[in-house]
Amino acid sequence: MSRLLSIVIFSLGLFLPGNHVNAQKKQKTNKGTSKREIEKRLEESAKKDDTNYFNPLQPMGVRQNNLRDDLLWSSETANTGYEKSGNISLTTPSRYGLKGDLELYSTLGYDYWVPNVGIKKRWSVFDGWFIGSKHMLFSGTPGFNWAQNQGHNDIVDQDVEIPYILSMRNEFLASYVFVTKVTCTKPKPWLILTGAIGGDYGHAIVGNSLREVEGHFLTNRSPATTGSSWVAFAKIRADWQALNFLAVRGGVTYFYGDFTNNDAIEHRLYGELFAFPYLSFSGGYMMSFANYKRGGGFQIIPFVDLTLYFGRKRQREEGLWGKKGPK
């Protein structure tokens, strides 16, 4: 019995100390390795860029569904852009969303000759219909001063005193949108039809000896830009998403007012090519039909534009309290 007890004690003494030492070493090793590994990973993370290796064209953290989905809605439709979103264009209106249903716009390519600024308000949306209005102030005074200084006697005579002119435009629009279900969250518009009626009126603050500006695309706008009278117009327009990267846009406008032969028709058709998600190039033509004193009864000229879009689409309600993102 005593011999058996001696064997057990000897065995415990042989194995227990070694196991205890190994466990201590393992614990110390794990503790040291873990600390160094954490520091190393933090340093590596700080040095990394924001490249998204799943999609190199999209920064990490920016979801595809935050990209704007309203680019088919042009400035000539009744809808407005998202809050704090808009576009910068050369020959079509540049826009900025003040609120979800209110935007500021100006055609920058004309500002040097005809300074202009306006607002568009979306009043109602129901059953695919959008109702809105546009209200703009502009002045032809800088343009006439420029023409006189440059010696363009076909526009303004050299001995005429150019008054300060204030003009305004009021326009009411109705658009109907056709949509297709391409995702499980939101339908996507593929065709927008718009009708509009409106008018321009100009007034010279002090005396006015300016004559009508002759030529297509000018004569029918003379009553307002010269500050002498008024002109009314009616429009029909279509914006079609032909391809994912191509929008085809066009329309016809009828003018009636206090100018030579009293009426005119203009037609514009162009394609907007999205070379990048937020940058587009547009090209097409503009046609004018009217019996003016100058230019015959018909004229066609090229139309080009360059547009940079910015901002993100409106986000859905978030959180328990219904806090909303940009409209």
Which CATH number does 76-310 carry?
2.40.160.40
Instruction: Provide the token pair at 139.
Output: 């002045």
Q: How far apart are CA 119 and CA 169, in angstroms?
A: 11
- pTM of structure: 0.75
Cβ atoms of 300 and 287 within 8 Å: the answer is yes
Residue with tokens 């503790």: 31
Mean pLDDT (whole number) for 119-129:
96
Place 318 in a pLDDT band, splitting at 50, 70 and 90.
very low
CB atoms near residue 191 (< 10 Å): 16
* Per-residue pLDDT at 185: 59
Rg of the chain over Cα atoms, rounded to whole angstroms, equals 34
* Per-residue pLDDT at 207: 82
Lowest mean pLDDT among 117-126, 188-197, 236-245, 291-300: 291-300
Instruction: Among 15-24, 45-54, 298-307, 311-320, name the most confident range.
Output: 298-307
